[in-house]
Structure formats: C-alpha cells, structure tokens
Structure 1
Amino acid sequence: MIKRELIIFLIVGILTVAVDFATYSSLLWFECVGADLAKAIGFVTGTVFAYFANRFWTFGGRAHTSGSAARFILLYAFTLGANVWVNSILLKQFSLHSYAITLAFVFATAISAALNFLGMKFFVFKSPRSQEVA
C-alpha cells in the first residue's frame, strides 16, 4: 500500500513542483516580487493543487475526517518555512553561479517533499485503522 501511495505521491509531486516552479520563476522573471516571496507564492500555489490531488488520488479519496484540513494547513505551514529557508540559504551560498536558482529550488523542494509525504501519510490523511489505534 505504501509503495502505491509513494508512486502516486511522486507523480502528484512532479505536477505540484511544475506549478510551483512556473509560478516562482515567472514572478522572478517579471520582477514582480523578491525571491523569498516568489518562492512562498509558488509553494502555496502548488499546495492548493497538492491537497486535492493527494487527498483524492494518492490516499484513495478517504472520507473527510475532522481536522484533516487544519492538519494539512499546519503541515504545509511548517514545510513552507523549511522550503523558503533552504531556498534562501542556498541562493546565498551559490549566488555567484548561474545555476543558483535551479539548485536552490530543487534542494528546497526535495526537503519539503519528503516532509510532506511523511506528514500526509501519518498526520493528515491517516488511514481509518491508524485513527482507531491513536
């Protein structure tokens, strides 16, 4: 079961990252906002897609459980902070290199994706059995 969820999560993640990166890079390209705000906006845009795709596709369309939306918001607030923090540190670290934006984005995304999968699996979209035990 976890293997199937992980594979679908990765597909949803790729789509989510595409939305995030398109938003982030567009905001930077058009100089609409600074890098940190652009990263946050991109992340939040992807988050909206990720919630519905993961709820209905990755984790089997489980019935809405009380507090799942609040747990999702809490998880994504935490991983947003981690994402922007890692991105910011790496942009500063590699600022002299042409690949800085891409490298920072990829590493920040990898960290937040790992945290998101674990958080959604065991905190947000817990299986009914794990809720009974808890």
Structure 2
Amino acid sequence: MPETPRSRDQEPHVPLPVEIPVTENIADDALDLKTQVVRFVLTGGLSAVVDFGLYFFLVQVAGLPVNVAKSIGFIAGTTTAYLINRRWTFKAEPSRARFIAVVILYAITFAVQVGLNWVMYEAFPDVWWRLPLAFVIAQGTATVINFVVQRAVIFKIR
C-alpha cells in the first residue's frame, strides 16, 4: 500500500497516565474561584484521609520509619488529589505539559511536606498528638502551595 501523509493526530505519542473516565467535555465551563476552593478542599480532605490513613498504618502497624511512611502516604494522597482535581475542580482536559508541571509541583511540595512533617514531628514532645499535629501542619502548608500554583499556573496550561 502506498504511504499516506500522517496527520498530527495520527503521529505516535507517549500515552497519558491512566485517569478516571469522563463522558462529557469537561472543559466546557470554567468554575468560579469559590466553587474551585470548595471542590479543592473536599478533594484535599479525601486525599488527606488516604495520605494520613496510609501514613498512620505504616508507622503504627507496619513499623516503617516516619519519613518512609510519610513519603508513601504523600504519593498515594497526591495521586488521588491530582486525578480528582484535574477533572472535577479545574475541569481541565488531559495535557502532557500539565502533567509534567504537576509532577514538578508535587516534587516541590513533597520536599516541603515531608521535611516540614519531620521538623514538626521532632519538635513536639513524644505524646499522642505529635503524629497528627505534625501531619496537619505539613499538609496545610502543602495544600496552600498546591492550590495557588495549580489555579494560577498549571491548569492554565493548554
């Protein structure tokens, strides 16, 4: 068969990460700031449950070191957050450039969150509230950084 010129849509590409399926065009309507904040907080709450639940289990039950457990929890929680926020909070279509930007942002917030968690964990006395309070401070800081950068930069990328 003779070769036909390929269109841009037919060129080989690197596949995007597996994500929650969508049945409608999610980029049709941009959401206002208030709606985005509410959705971001709800998504963050769910993601924090995933993060903290795994973190707590890995420290208290599995006996992993705090930084290892926090790292694993962070990865699980932020993956959950990205998948939900991209589609529900920011209504953004898939984009390799955006995904790369999110990976860079999450690498930065990973360092901030794990580092701040460790500093707070070491600063507090060895009492029952030490682990959750260190987590909340680190999580809160990372959440603010994530929302600002995602809204102002990442979900503006096409």
TM-score (norm 1): 0.89
Unaligned segments of structure 1, at least 5 residues: 129-134
Residue pairs, 1:5-16, within 5 angstroms: 5-16=36-47
Is 2:48 aligned against 1:17? Answer: yes
Q: Which of 136, 139, 155 is the equivalent residue of 1:109?
A: 139
**RMSD over equivalenced CA pairs, Å:** 1.3
Amino acid corresponding to residue 81 of structure 2 in structure 1: A
Calculate percent identity across the aligned residue pairs.
31
Deviation of the 1:45 alpha carbon: 0.3
Instruction: Quote the Cα distance in structure 2 between the aligned partners of 1:92 and 1:57.
Output: 37
> Counterpart in 1 of 2:121?
91
> Counterpart in 2 of 1:4?
35
Size of the alignment, in residue pairs? 127
Amino acid corresponding to residue 18 of structure 1 in structure 2: V
Structure 1 segments (4+ residues) deviating >2 Å: 95-98
More helix by share: 1
Deviation of the 1:43 alpha carbon: 0.5
Instruction: Give SS of 1:23's match.
Output: helix
Amino acid corresponding to residue 77 of structure 2 in structure 1: G
Residue pairs, 1:1-134, within 5 angstroms: 1-60=32-91, 62-126=92-156
Amino acid corresponding to residue 71 of structure 2 in structure 1: A
Instruction: Quote the Cα distance in structure 2 between the aligned partners of 1:95 and 1:108.
Output: 17
Unaligned segments of structure 2, at least 5 residues: 1-31
